[in-house]
Amino acid sequence: MKKSHVYVTTPIFYASGNPHAGHIYATALMNIICAHYGHRGCETRALTGMDEHGEKIEESAKSLGKKPQQLVDDLAEQWKQIFGKFEFSYDVFMRTTSEAHKKNVTEVLRRCHDNGDIYFGEHEGHYCVGCEAFLTSKEMDDHKKCLIHQRPTELRREGNYYFKVQKYLPKIIELIRQGKIVSQRRYINELVSMAESFEGDLSISRPKSRTSWGIELPFDKDHVAYVWFDALPNYVTGIGGVEAAEKSPFWKSAVHVIGRDILKFHGLFWPAMLLSLGLEVPELCVTGWLLSGGHKMSKSLGNVITPDDIFELGRDAFINSAFRLANPGEDVDLTHKSMIERYNADLANGVGNLASRTLTMIEKYFDGRLPSFERDAFTDEELEIAQIAAKLPNAVEVAFDQFKLADALQLVWELIARTDKYIASQKPWELAKANTSESLTRLGNVLAHSTAVLRTVGFTTAAFFPEKMRLLLKALGEGNTPMSKAFEAASDFYGIQVGFKLVTIPRLFQRMDVPSRKETPSEKNKVAQQTPEQKQVDTAKSSNTITIEDFGKVEICVATVLNAELVEGSTKLLRLKVSVGDLGLRQILSGIREWITPEELVNRKVLIVTNLAPRKMKFGISEGMLLSADSQSAEVKPVFVSDEMKEGSRLA
CA nearest 116: which of 156, 168, 46? 168
Binds ligand MSP (CB under 6 A): choice among 25, 168, 187, 459: 25
CB 340 to ligand MSP: min, Å: 20
What are 514's strand-pairing partners? Answer: none
Residue whose CB is less far from ligand MSP, 26 or 319:
26
- The span from the CA of 355 to the CA of 373, in Å, is 18
- The span from the CA of 408 to the CA of 155, in Å, is 48
Binds ligand MSP (CB under 6 A): choice among 290, 348, 448, 583: 290
CB 246 to ligand MSP: min, Å: 20
DSSP letters, 118-170, are: EEEEEEEEEEETTTTEEEPGGGB-TT-BBTTT--B-EEEEEEEEEE-HHHHHH
- The span from the CA of 315 to the CA of 467, in Å, is 10
Pairing of strands 216-217, 220-225: antiparallel
Is 54 a binding residue for ligand MSP by CB under 6 A? The answer is no
Name the one range near ligand MSP by CB under 6 A: 22-30, 74-82, 437-445, 554-562. Answer: 22-30
CB 259 to ligand MSP: min, Å: 2
CB 270 to ligand MSP: min, Å: 8
Is 26 a binding residue for ligand MSP by CB under 6 A? The answer is yes
- The span from the CA of 101 to the CA of 240, in Å, is 9
Binds ligand MSP (CB under 6 A): choice among 224, 245, 258, 355: 258
Residue whose CB is less far from ligand MSP, 31 or 451:
31
How many positions of this chain bind ligand MSP (CB under 6 A)?
A: 20
Please indicate whether residue 149 is annotated as part of the active site. Answer: yes
Please indicate whether residue 295 is annotated as part of the active site. Answer: no
Name the one range near ligand MSP by CB under 6 A: 69-77, 289-297, 378-386, 433-441. Answer: 289-297
Q: Using alpha carbons only, how large is the chain's radius of gyration in Å?
A: 28
- The span from the CA of 449 to the CA of 439, in Å, is 15
- The span from the CA of 231 to the CA of 219, in Å, is 19
- The span from the CA of 50 to the CA of 101, in Å, is 12
CA nearest 12: which of 60, 69, 57? 57
Is 289 a binding residue for ligand MSP by CB under 6 A? The answer is yes
CB 109 to ligand MSP: min, Å: 16
414: left (phi over 0), alpha (psi -120 to 50) or beta: alpha
Residue whose CB is less far from ligand MSP, 14 or 168:
14
Distance of CA 301 to the CA centre of its chain: 23
- Catalytic residue chosen out of the listed positions 34, 42, 112, 131: 131
What are 127's strand-pairing partners? Answer: 134, 154
Name the one range near ligand MSP by CB under 6 A: 231-239, 372-380, 512-520, 644-652. Answer: 231-239
Distance of CA 436 to the CA centre of its chain: 49
Is 181 a binding residue for ligand MSP by CB under 6 A? The answer is no
Binds ligand MSP (CB under 6 A): choice among 35, 40, 51, 135: 51
- Catalytic residue chosen out of the listed positions 146, 266, 404, 468: 146
- The span from the CA of 344 to the CA of 12, in Å, is 33
Is 262 a binding residue for ligand MSP by CB under 6 A? The answer is yes
Q: Which residues are catalytic?
A: 20, 23, 128, 131, 146, 149, 296, 299
User: Which residues here bind ligand MSP, judged by CB under 6 A?
Assistant: 11-14, 22-23, 25-26, 51, 231-232, 234, 258-259, 261-262, 287, 289-290, 297
